[in-house]
Chain A
């Protein structure tokens, strides 16, 4: 999946991936897609929940097999306005 900006949160546990995402998304313009890379399994549920509350759109979630753990890539499209 295509993204405009990447955010690496590997090794960080909850709540850091969400906090880093909320900071990073401010640098994007509306319609741009942020790719959040995480190895915290909680992100599968947390990122859609964060999007639902903040109004951004979750456009995709990818799962890859990393060396030790699974790696998740969440794609968030920034809301306008």
Chain B
């Protein structure tokens, strides 16, 4: 009888190579608190060696838009909409107690005083850790956001099939 000596650490590494856990997050909300929760889960999962994909759609797109970038769509309705719906990771409002900006500003101050990373910092960390970011094409069109006004490092512009293909392999799929 021959006994194969299998190094446990090598076996474990091989196992992990073939069975990487996947996490997908749909970010529909553009509220600062919700996007923050999504980014904390994303960065945490990436730090745990999981493969993370974030899909930004609807208001969530505001988190991956450049600040002060204007898309200027041709029709006046979407232009007016773009004027009202401002983008930028550091400009997301709180879902509650926004108070025309005052509440959110105060929350940001508390976070900064306590050395808690804000949305722009979390976003940078997420990209650093290799979190894949995908923007939904349908809502980009609907909301009149052109792709050149999105931040750098958006891996793909895609739709529902791309999401479902990733999600069916995912062990953690969240809708935020």
Chain A interface residues (CB < 8 Å from chain B): 11-16, 18-19, 21-22, 30, 50, 53-55, 79-81
Contacts of A53 in B (CB 8 A): 21, 48-50
The verdict on A13 contacting B116 (CB below 8 Å), with A55-B16, A80-B9 known, is: yes
Please give me the 4 A-B residue pairs with the lowest Cβ-Cβ distance, nearest first. A81-B13, A80-B9, A22-B47, A81-B9
**CB of B45, distance to nearest CB on chain A (Å):** 9
Closest-CB distance, A78 to chain B (whole angstroms)? 10
- A12 — which chain B residues lie within 8 A by C-beta? 115
Which one of B9, B43, B117 contacts A79 once the chains associate, using CB atoms below 8 Å? B9
Contact yes or no, B47 A19, CB < 8 A: yes
Contact A14 B48 (CB under 8 A): no
Q: In the assembled complex, how far is the CB of residue B85 from the closest CB belonging to chain A, in whole angstroms?
A: 29
B115 touches A13 (CB 8 A): yes
How many interface residues does chain B have, given as a range?
20 to 34
From A16, A18, A21, A80, B117 is in contact (CB under 8 Å) with A16
Contact of A54 among B40, B43, B48 (CB under 8 A): B48
| B114 partner residues in chain A, CB cutoff 8 A | 11, 13
Q: List 6 A-B contacts (CB under 8 A).
A: A13-B116, A15-B43, A15-B47, A30-B9, A54-B48, A54-B49
* Residue pair B115, A21 in contact (C-beta under 8 Å): no
B125 CB-CB contact with A under 8 Å: yes
Residues of chain A within 8 A (CB-CB) of B21 are 53
Q: How far does the alpha carbon of A53 sit from the alpha carbon of B12 in the complex, in Å?
A: 11
Q: In the complex, which residues of chain A have a beta carbon less than 8 angstroms from the beta carbon of B46?
A: 22
A13 to B125, CA, bound (A): 14
The interface residues of chain A lying within 8 Å CB-to-CB of B49 are 22, 53-54
Question: Which of chain A's residues have a CB closer than 8 A to the CB of B47?
Answer: 15, 18-19, 21-22, 50
Q: Given A12-B115, A53-B49, A54-B49, A19 and B129 touching (CB < 8 A)?
A: yes
